[in-house]
Structure 1
């Protein structure tokens, strides 16, 4: 019986190739999107779930409460040791300080190899590898990080640095000053871990790199690079632990208005909590999952529309089968067999498309997703479930309609709309499809407009044609390099600075204003720079003057928000008043800078302080002329490399750094753009099915109208008024839902666009245009049919 079902299904699809191609196309696209989203969601949900006792591993994080609340994954460096010594809540506690983008040099004989390691170096306590499951393939984890200047590296780096030599007891150097002897080799890190650092150095080496951070008295500041992890004992609750943390604040920061709240963050949340640098928020995974579900449902809806439109062609076949004794159940399962054949073909094609699309998805998400067909049982389970659900969801309704045809009515060709489900069901399905499409279109337009707004709005400074080059030398040598840069043809201005006006590299400090004994209740964003900072970035002075040239902190510039935070009647009241920040940086306020966006549009404008402090300069900001950019960049590189022959040259344009603020938004825009196109395409297939059905039903009516003098536009309007009504209904449903969703999304920005009526008009207008082309393509064939043939259609 099953063999017979399959044989008949093949014959039917072979006779109706257009029907088969349309259905296979729609289902293939929907299932491909579903598979890609499943693999992406599965990849992210699997991060760091391979560690033993993962449910008891926590990271200690910090909430800083002042005039607002800020979040950081960093903690004061002494906290880990104090917590380990003072309490028995944890089996293991480990501190780890990670510094990215560091230079590593390996000397082999006369050859010196230089490597820039983007994931940097981590200074880790021994217990870190007793908390986490990163196994060694060589060396002893209990002793590998015990002594100063010892470390472990991954298999990949061992081969990269030392080739086929035994890496144990080999030496490498980082930042051209710290030598490390390899005492262990880690198994290469799995792809689903947030810990990407491949070089681990003993924690007691940290004082050679950053003496302040290594000090056990450094309670006064927090760097995001310093993390602390704890493996809690069984039965210990997070609330028990968090109750003891306020004691550290009272003991070590009793006078600070910057109230620290230390919290325990479960390891399972580290990947998803954007407040602490999580790579993928769960809400984004939910959005992607819902889009995938919508696209699969849309494909099923399209199948049902095409199948019911095709039912008229099968009516006489069904009538003959019933006369010959076929039962309803047999006819139903015959159609299910046909549907399953289409679904299996679509799923096979979807697997191929998924494999072809994965490299692009990995590039887009900076991920390492793989299908692993022979070991990924979850993928096969998902695919099997999708095939079964799609088969019965798509095939049941048309199958039941065909099975209930009355044989006499079917053989006479007298079937009406009511016999095959009427228009209302198909109308509802079309409305569903286009409502989903319009929600995606509106979302795409809003995200695109917000990104354009963020990137093109006046930031309060000039970000164009400015190259950020790292400072890797002493303050005196940095001044020499600056002067050499200024002599290059094409260079307009150079400034030594901590960072650009808007940067992800933030340095916060507590201000003491006007010799007050108590610190202010807000933090300032430090932008240490020389006297060329304002001219290089085109920052505007609203009062006072610029800094005088100096290597040490003698004067300050502040922004307008600084005055607002102090509740001063006029910003000029600050001029001449003393300011103390960061403990030992003291001097008068000599100028007030017009507010500029120091962070992304997600954040409010901070109070900003600009002192001269050459020890804190990290970058050369080089403003160049755009007439001959390649030659100018080459000259900058040559000059820098001549002054730093033992370093690797790197640079970045400032506008690229600013664009990096909105990587998540750019990613979501790309995805929604692609899914919108797919949803519209599948929706048009459904509309094509509806028009096909209408054309078959109205063949005789069209013939009569043409005999009575109707022209082709009048005939086309018969179909046009139907789809116009459906699109308007779908728009009425989609627009409030889209407005609510995108308005909620925009609340994540302190500076954002308003959702104007034109956005909705654009969405419905584009939908109308696409739908019109679809309808004309199919309806024109009915409109051009010879009326004589149309009248003989029965």
Structure 2
């Protein structure tokens, strides 16, 4: 029986090649998207879930309770030590302090090799590797990183630095500052971890590398300073967070007692909390999940549309089968068999498409995703069964209920196969999904365009950022003079980071010698006196600070002034102290607000201050008309100034564009999926119009003989689908507005969703649909009426 079902089904598909091809392509595209989205979601959900006792592993983070609650995925450097000393809730606690963009120098005889590491290094306490499951390959785990100037590297880094030589006992120099000895090698870090550093140095070396003063500074939070802990069994997160209030009482005074809070974040949630530095957002994964479901529904709808349209062509076959004794359930399973064959072929094509698309997807996410065939096989089997019954059930029931007498006399009408009413609903469903995706694409494009072209309050164009490896005043002064002499260089400034940066340092502030610090933090930026002219920052009150080597004067921004509820002129001449009152000086100027991070975050109160010891970047404003020669001269001068270092540079506008990396990824995905939804919808439209053209061949011939022109015949086809597209638009508009309104909530500074966005969507949909319908309809309209009338 089953063999006969399959044999007859195959014959029918071979006989109707166009119908089978369109059905296979539509289903394959939908299933391929489902496979890729399933792979993407399971990959991201697996991040840092492989650690033993993962349910008891947490990262500390800081909350600032002011007018609202601000969260930072980092802690003051002494915080984890204080927790470990004061409480017994945890089995292990470890500090982890990372520094990006470091230089590794390896000397072997007279040969010197330099490696610039963007992910940098991490100074960690030995307990870190007891908490997290990063197995070692070489070295004694009991003594790893116990002593100063020791390092662990991953197998990948050992191969990079030393080839096949044994790395144990080898040394390297970090940023031409400290020399460390490799005492252990770790297995390469898994793909699904957010711990990116692959060079780990003993925490006991921190002070020698970064200087004194950090170890007891409770007033500042450096973004690379983190702490991890594994709680004892039975200890709850709420217990620990309540107890950590004692740390606040012990180490803070005045308003800080209400401002500072320390919290725990489960390690498996780190990947999804963008506010705390996570990579993704679970809402994006949910969006992708629903897009995948919608695309599979769209493909199934496409199949149902085409199958029911084909039903009339099979009326005589069904009539004969019924006369010869076939039962309705046999006809139903016959059609299910056809659907199964199409679905299996589509799954094969979908797997091939997925394999091809996986590499671009990995490049897009900078990931190393692979297909987990154990999980994926189960998913494919389930999705195939769902598609078969979702797509095949209704057409099978339609065929099974044909009345044999009508079928044999070819008197079945559209009403007998569900008429246009069902297909209208299905076409509306398809294009509702397509228009939601089109509107989403337009809004994401508009927001990113706004983010990247809006006035940031400073000049981001034509500014080259070059890392500064040493704070040597003589070298810095000489290099500034030489750079200023280059043709095409307009300005030069030394700074810690540019006005907008991912690396931000926030600290407490004492204003006007008040007894208590303010109950909000300030973002600090160290720079020289050329900072505001190089970046085009405007002063609205006071003056720029004078050239100096130490902190004596400050510039603050408008938000700082607004937080104090005073006028800009009122803060000029007032005293200010920050960073646990280590830096004290006079406010001499107020800057117009500029965006110090992305549009996802609000502008912070901030200050710019001279402090040459923290200057680590030289910013060079250049004339882009002679950029190539200018960059070559900068390279030459830099290498002559720091011959032992590794030269690199980047443009400021490129670094700002990285703020929106995830948004750009989302845009590309939405564009791709919108395109696929449109392709599937157009395949369905083309199939339906082709079927209509065949069914209306005689009608078209009669109309042409009676004088109908081409446009009226085209409208015969187009009016039906135009109404359906309008209905789809009416349904899609509020859905898209709701979805994108929630997306835009993630931006503190955002576009408004205006009517022009919806007009663009409906126009683009009409153009695409009319091109699809118009081509096939025009062929029917231009056909010779004599041949048309002879066709029946």
Q: If the length of structure 2 is used for normalisation, what is the TM-score?
A: 0.97
Higher alpha-carbon deviation: 42-51 or 162-171: 162-171
SS at match of 2:406: helix
CA distance in 1, matches of 2:666, 2:738: 17
SS at match of 1:271: helix
CA distance in 2, matches of 1:656, 1:76: 30
CA distance in 1, matches of 2:213, 2:716: 77
For residues 121-159 of structure 1, what are the alpha-carbon distances to aligned partners after superposition, in whole Å with 9 as ceiling and x for unaligned? 112212111111111111121112222112211111112
SS at match of 2:677: helix
CA distance in 1, matches of 2:71, 2:735: 32
SS at match of 2:58: strand
CA distance in 1, matches of 2:51, 2:110: 42
Aligned to 1:28: 28
Report the CA distance between 1:577 and its aligned residue: 2.2
CA distance in 2, matches of 1:87, 1:283: 36
Summarize the alignment of residues 443-454 of structure 1 with structure 2, pairs less than 5 Å apart.
443-454=440-451
Aligned to 1:779: 777
- Contact map agreement 1:434 1:727 (CA 8 A) in 2: yes
- Contact map agreement 1:309 1:692 (CA 8 A) in 2: no
CA distance in 1, matches of 2:213, 2:156: 29
SS at match of 1:340: helix
Aligned to 1:365: 365
CA distance in 2, matches of 1:79, 1:496: 32
Aligned to 2:459: 462
Summarize the alignment of residues 616-635 of structure 1 with structure 2, pairs less than 5 Å apart.
616-635=614-633
CA distance in 1, matches of 2:95, 2:683: 58
Aligned to 2:381: 384
Aligned to 1:561: 559
Aligned to 1:80: 80
Report the CA distance between 1:475 and its aligned residue: 4.2
Summarize the alignment of residues 301-316 of structure 1 with structure 2, pairs less than 5 Å apart.
301-316=301-316
- Contact map agreement 2:222 2:506 (CA 8 A) in 1: no
Report the CA distance between 1:20 and its aligned residue: 1.4
SS at match of 2:526: coil
SS at match of 1:316: helix
C-alpha RMSD of the superposition: 1.6
Higher alpha-carbon deviation: 47-56 or 250-259: 250-259
- Contact map agreement 1:460 1:595 (CA 8 A) in 2: yes
Higher alpha-carbon deviation: 484-493 or 693-702: 693-702
- Contact map agreement 1:77 1:213 (CA 8 A) in 2: no
CA distance in 1, matches of 2:227, 2:17: 63
- Contact map agreement 2:27 2:300 (CA 8 A) in 1: yes
CA distance in 1, matches of 2:593, 2:444: 26
Report the CA distance between 1:789 and its aligned residue: 4.6
CA distance in 2, matches of 1:474, 1:708: 91
- Contact map agreement 2:5 2:337 (CA 8 A) in 1: yes
Summarize the alignment of residues 107-506 of structure 1 with structure 2, pairs less than 5 Å apart.
107-212=107-212, 215=215, 217-257=216-256, 259-372=259-372, 376-476=373-473, 477-506=475-504
Report the CA distance between 1:58 and its aligned residue: 0.9
Q: Are positions 1:40 and 2:60 aligned together?
A: no
Q: Are positions 1:99 and 2:104 aligned together?
A: no
Aligned to 1:580: 577
- Contact map agreement 2:83 2:247 (CA 8 A) in 1: no
Higher alpha-carbon deviation: 152-161 or 360-369: 152-161
Structure 1: any 5+ residue segments left out of the alignment? Answer: none
Q: If the length of structure 1 is used for normalisation, what is the TM-score?
A: 0.97
CA distance in 2, matches of 1:554, 1:95: 33
Report the CA distance between 1:221 and its aligned residue: 2.0
Distance 1:139 1:361, change over 3 A: same
CA distance in 2, matches of 1:783, 1:50: 64
1:652 equivalent among 637, 650, 675: 650
Higher alpha-carbon deviation: 448-457 or 591-600: 591-600
| Matched pairs, number | 789
CA distance in 2, matches of 1:74, 1:350: 43
CA distance in 1, matches of 2:558, 2:305: 62
For residues 542-568 of structure 1, what are the alpha-carbon distances to aligned partners after superposition, in whole Å with 9 as ceiling and x for unaligned? 222222222222222222222211111
For residues 164-217 of structure 1, what are the alpha-carbon distances to aligned partners after superposition, in whole Å with 9 as ceiling and x for unaligned? 2222222222111222222111111111111122111222121211244662x3
Report the CA distance between 1:32 and its aligned residue: 1.1
Report the CA distance between 1:722 and its aligned residue: 0.6
Aligned to 2:512: 514
Report the CA distance between 1:74 and its aligned residue: 1.4
SS at match of 2:341: helix
- Contact map agreement 2:223 2:505 (CA 8 A) in 1: no
- Contact map agreement 1:426 1:690 (CA 8 A) in 2: no
SS at match of 1:462: coil
CA distance in 1, matches of 2:169, 2:63: 42
For residues 454-498 of structure 1, what are the alpha-carbon distances to aligned partners after superposition, in whole Å with 9 as ceiling and x for unaligned? 111111111110001111112402222222211111111101112
CA distance in 2, matches of 1:388, 1:394: 10
- Contact map agreement 1:58 1:231 (CA 8 A) in 2: yes
For residues 373-392 of structure 1, what are the alpha-carbon distances to aligned partners after superposition, in whole Å with 9 as ceiling and x for unaligned? xxx20011111111111111
Distance 1:180 1:526, change over 3 A: same
Report the CA distance between 1:291 and its aligned residue: 0.5
CA distance in 2, matches of 1:2, 1:482: 83
Report the CA distance between 1:95 and its aligned residue: 1.5
